[in-house]
Amino acid sequence: MLKYNSKKHTTETIKKLSPPEEGVMQLLYFESLDEAESSDVLSRLSLHELALGRLKKFSDHPQINIYKDHAVISTFIISDMLELIAVNVLASAHYVICICERPNGLRKRLQHDFSENPEHMKDTSHVLYHILNETLSSYLNAVDRISDEVLSLEKRVFVKPFENDIGHSVFRWKERLVKLRQVVESEEGVLKKLIHKDFPFSTEDSVIYFEELENTFSRVPSALDTFKENLQGIFDLQISLKSDHMNRIMKTLTLVSVIFVPLTFIAGLYGMNFEYIPELRWHYGYFAVLGVCALLGASILLFFKRRGWW
């Protein structure tokens, strides 16, 4: 727990929640719901019943719920493995409670930020801004990692165009992007509500910060849409390369069969069981037929070469 005193302009670590007082802001951070429930802090606070229930229940999409004296924000942080970790934040006039779905590095980063910059805890809106700034920064980091993965897939298409795992990877990434896109869309709605004048804890100063946060975050949905299009392009490119390769194989087989069509005709002609075929009794007939076959095959091959078909 962290406590900020506006008179001293300092933050300090506390073990127990202090009674609300003017000029004092407190941050309570729990890395799991079990940690929060094992503490008696939540039971000691005069929380709205619905607010307490919303704080303890992780949502499947970002949202904001406003009650009489509190507001509960459900958001997400994206881990290094691109997994979504739910984060619930309860805001009030004198304290902010943050509960994560499971342990991550958010607590350490917030504690370092507020310890080094005590003024970041001067009121509820500033605490919310810095919490959301950390969570939404994970989206930007995720965009960079996804960009590297998509680029890697593009290179694999040209190195190993017939690898079936490329198509499987494209499908898995498209699934992840669809889920991320849904979360990002809801996250944009949360930011718009924080900027709105009806949000009870917004100030003229904080609105500017939240607008900046929204502008920075706006590149995330467009980037995800671009990645989705790129993945479809990768899939289409692989299909095109496979089709082109198959066409080359069929072209080769067709040209070879065309060369042997007249040769097969000659062999069939002299293989007929008629009693009188003059060439069969000719001393050089066998060598003459071989020469004609070789000449026909070479002529057809030369014709293909000149036409650029082979």
Cα 98 to Cα 239: distance, rounded to the nearest angstrom: 48
My answer on whether 203 and 217 are in the same domain is yes
Orientation of helix 285-307 relative to helix 219-269, angle to 10°: 160
pLDDT score, position 277: 77
pLDDT score, position 310: 72
Cα 295 to Cα 303: distance, rounded to the nearest angstrom: 12
Enumerate the β-bridge partners of residue 10. 5
* Whole-model pTM over 0.85: no
My answer on whether 203 and 291 are in the same domain is no
Cβ contacts of residue 37 below 8 Å, gap of 6+?
A: 56
pLDDT score, position 78: 93
Domain of 14 in residue numbering reads as 2-241
pLDDT score, position 190: 92
pLDDT score, position 9: 81
Which domain-ending residue is among 204, 224, 241? 241
pLDDT score, position 6: 77
Enumerate the β-bridge partners of residue 87. 75, 100
Instruction: Return the closest-CA partner of residue 187 out of 233, 147, 128, 139.
Output: 139
My answer on whether 109 and 256 are in the same domain is no
Which residue is listed with tokens 């082109």? 244
Residue ranges of the chain with pLDDT lower than 70? none
Q: How many domains does the chain have?
A: 2
My answer on whether 143 and 268 are in the same domain is no
pLDDT score, position 5: 78
My answer on whether 91 and 127 are in the same domain is yes
pLDDT score, position 142: 94
pLDDT score, position 91: 93
